[in-house]
């Protein structure tokens, strides 16, 4: 089409030369333009033929046949996956984990929510909540994580429902995975052990008895926020294994967990946050706490 329009313009230009003087004696043809016209006439069919050939070539390209892929076409070698050293057992921290409590010191990694030294006590290699001392939290702040934590409710059973062995693991200071003695202890289903408090009951009750050590392995994906700062672009998501049993399967939270508040009404954009453990008035013990940043 480009050659065609140029060709037409050249013909017009040449035909408009000296019309008033155009006669057999005064007409002087524009040889330069005539040369262009001549070349265009010669080249136009060749260009058209090439264009048709190109179109035919494109049309005859065959789609990739997925059944004829060779191994080398579907095997990606680089970059090589990072090598870490796993723990001696599945409850031991791998080499890329941060150990938050090793049975000895709590002041290096933990503090109370005002930034003061924690009043929780360390006894026999365990960390025990003290009634009235408030939450404790990590000095470090985290986003998406894998967390391993072991906990034990008192062997001497007192209280019932939410008043029996209550504590909690708060992700980014806002989202509670409930800790509770839920062994023969009826309470509301989305407030029992391994629930996402007041939002998701566990898929099953995998609780061990009072005084027995239990484990949570938690995979948490931090949320992202819309520009309004009060709604999620992607909600926080949580997976929980309770004593090795899947009980929360990548659930999407509606907002912060709370006793009575509607979660959606209290979303507020936040960045990395501490891991918190709840003081709910019961002496719940913790040990072997480690975390991996994802």
Q: What are phi and psi for residue 253, nearest 5 degrees?
A: -80, 150
Nearer to Mg ion, 168 or 273 (CB): 168
Residue number with the shortest CB distance to Mg ion? 168
How do 98-101 and 110-112 pair as beta strands?
unpaired
In the complex, least distance from residue 93 CB atom to Mg ion, rounded to whole angstroms: 25
Q: Cβ closer to Mg ion: 106 or 196?
A: 196
State in angstroms the smallest separation of the CB of 74 from Mg ion: 48
Min CB(179)–Mg ion separation in Å: 6
Based on CB atoms, which residue is closest to Mg ion, 191 or 235?
A: 191
Nearer to Mg ion, 137 or 166 (CB): 166
Residues that bind Mg ion (CB under 5 A): 166, 168, 278
CA–CA separation, 182 and 166 (whole Å): 9
Q: In whole angstroms, how close is the CB of 71 to Mg ion at the nearest point?
A: 52
Identify the bridge partners of residue 146 per DSSP, sorted by sequence position. Answer: 219, 292
Rounded Cα distance between 34 and 11, Å, is 8
Q: Are 148 and 91 in contact (CB under 8 A)?
A: yes
Min. distance of Cβ 177 from Mg ion in angstroms?
A: 9
Residue 29 and residue 201: Cα distance in Å, rounded? Answer: 94
Residue with smaller CB distance to Mg ion, 93 or 263: 263
Helix-helix angle 31-59:2-15, to 10 degrees: 160
């Amino acid at each position: 089409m480009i050659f065609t329009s140029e060709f037409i313009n050249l013909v017009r230009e040449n035909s408009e030369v000296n019309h008033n003087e155009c006669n057999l004696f005064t007409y002087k043809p524009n040889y330069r333009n005539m040369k262009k016209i001549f070349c265009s006439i010669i080249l136009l069919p060749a260009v058209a033929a090439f264009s048709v050939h190109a179109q035919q070539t494109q049309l005859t390209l065959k789609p990739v046949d997925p059944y004829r892929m060779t191994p080398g076409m579907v095997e990606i070698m680089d970059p090589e996956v990072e090598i870490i050293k796993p723990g001696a057992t599945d409850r031991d921290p791998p080499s890329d984990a941060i150990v938050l409590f090793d049975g000895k010191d709590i002041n290096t990694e933990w503090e109370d929510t005002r930034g003061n030294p924690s009043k929780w006590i360390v006894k026999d290699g365990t960390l025990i909540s003290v009634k009235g001392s408030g939450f404790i939290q990590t000095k470090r702040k985290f986003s998406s994580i894998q967390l391993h934590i072991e906990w034990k409710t008192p062997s001497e059973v007192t209280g019932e429902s939410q008043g029996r062995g209550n504590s909690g693991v708060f992700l980014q200071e806002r989202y509670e995975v409930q800790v509770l003695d839920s062994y023969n202890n009826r309470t509301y289903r989305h407030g029992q052990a391994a629930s996402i408090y007041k939002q998701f009951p566990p898929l099953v009750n995998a609780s061990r008895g009072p005084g027995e050590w239990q484990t949570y392995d938690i995979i948490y994906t931090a949320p992202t926020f819309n520009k309004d700062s009060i709604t999620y672009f992607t909600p926080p998501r949580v997976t929980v294994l309770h004593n090795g049993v899947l009980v929360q399967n990548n659930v999407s939270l509606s907002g912060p967990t709370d006793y009575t508040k509607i979660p959606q009404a209290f979303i507020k954009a936040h960045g990395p946050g501490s891991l918190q453990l709840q003081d709910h008035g019961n002496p719940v013990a913790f040990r072997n706490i480690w975390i991996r940043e994802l």
